[in-house]
A and B are shown apart, each in its own frame.
Chain A
């Protein structure tokens, strides 16, 4: 029995490791046609391209960039070009991305059925509730309090102009 156990462990251990490794990779799909680059920079050399809807593997995250693997190539692409998770399935494990963004262990997507929903009918039938508005207003923070809260978290304002609409849409 003992040698057999040992053998089983020896055989299954690499297999388990493999499973773990493959779980760490996240699948995704392309939201638009885009080019991949050898490094996460706009002026880095192009390694290949993909088309909208193409499925790919997400290997890594760095700032505003994801490293992805298509059937043909591997490269870095801006993260807003990629939809995380396989297109059909609803709950893809966050995997490598969660690790990279420091939120492993939380934020898993679990579909919950609406125990207490808020349908259009509910909203239409709603009756004014003065007490609740007053309560909500009682939590109000003024600008100074907001500023202090930001400082406490080390938040500093960054110059950044409002994004503008781009013609051509998402097609």
Chain B
């Protein structure tokens, strides 16, 4: 037994070492796989949609204004040397997932799959006016982020829980329960801003990448996967499990900072997000509606204090931010 444990420990250590080297970008020869079906179609569709919109969106947004403050770590913008060599093995560049450095189309396809699974657990609230309103607010806030050209999608989902979710590529969902706690547009902008921050900083994507590179290092994925080549499903695990997982605390704090920054840049009163953190902090720990949220996030008090440290005096001169409670879509 102990022999066995020892050897499995060795293997684990080996995997870690391989993973570390992969992540460090020291040696990686082939990190992409043939891909058909879901990804190809979804990516194509998204790209077409995005291209269709891009003539409008590029004129309307001013992404370069904020480029000096881009929060995305260097690795996400690293030169795409791996995919260029790998892509030639497939018919189209979209037919691979380059786990070392996924393309935007790959990122969107992954996010779409996760979103579809999440919507399988909690469907959209059937209220077009509400959904369009939330998309309008979210779109405006996202336009002040470092990734204004993603095809941003927002949705309010049927759940009494207090929670919100982001999936790679620009998918953001908020529960009906959390929406009903809000009383103005600045609060909505702040919460959506937090989720937009996760997407911009690629937090969920990085979790998937790490896991896949780990699998690669262990050689688990080095075989064909039957006729239904469900690379994506395999990557994201079962259902929307990824959405129930915790990110690093530091990722949540970063999303808080970004969310507040985006909402402030958008012209909203800067304390919308912290209003909601205050409300969440007053929700009892034993309240079922925050069970998952509290499990996967630092306590709201800690988030408020950490955000407060970053804010310092920086909001002292921000005046005339709007709360717009008069046009906030009231959901009964």
Given the interface pairs A32-B308, A150-B140, A153-B185, the reply to whether A158 lies near B265 with Cβ below 8 Å is: yes
One of A6-14, A17-25, A67-75, A140-148 at the interface: A140-148
How many chain B residues sit at the interface, stated as a range, is 35 or more
Determine whether the beta carbon of B135 is less than 8 Å from that of A141. yes
Taking a contact as CB atoms closer than 8 A, the residue among A115, A124, A163 that contacts B314 in the complex is A163
Per-residue 0/1 for A89-107: is the Cβ within 8 Å of any B Cβ (1 yes, 0 no)? 0111000000001110011
Q: A111-B284, A147-B60 are in contact. Are A116 and B71 (CB under 8 A)?
A: no
Number of A residues near B (Cβ < 8 Å) is: 74
Bound Cα distance from A150 to B142, whole angstroms = 12
Least CB distance from B257 to A in Å reads 4
Binary interface encoding of chain B residues 135-165 relative to chain A, with 1 for a CB under 8 A from any of its CBs, else 0: 1111110111000100111110111110100
The answer to whether A16 has its CB under 8 Å from any CB of chain B is no
Interface of chain A: mostly helix, strand, loop or mixed: loop
- Measuring CB to CB, which residues of chain A are less than 8 angstroms from any residue of chain B? 31-32, 41-42, 63-64, 78-81, 83-85, 90-92, 101-103, 106-107, 109, 111-120, 122-130, 132-133, 135-137, 139-147, 149-150, 153-166, 168-170
Which 4 A-B residue pairings sit nearest by Cβ, starting from the closest? Answer: A80-B308, A146-B139, A143-B57, A126-B121
26 cross-chain CB contacts under 8 A = A64-B271, A64-B318, A80-B274, A80-B305, A103-B184, A111-B284, A113-B288, A114-B161, A115-B160, A116-B122, A117-B160, A123-B117, A123-B240, A128-B117, A132-B124, A137-B49, A141-B136, A142-B56, A143-B61, A144-B60, A149-B137, A150-B140, A157-B144, A158-B321, A160-B264, A162-B257
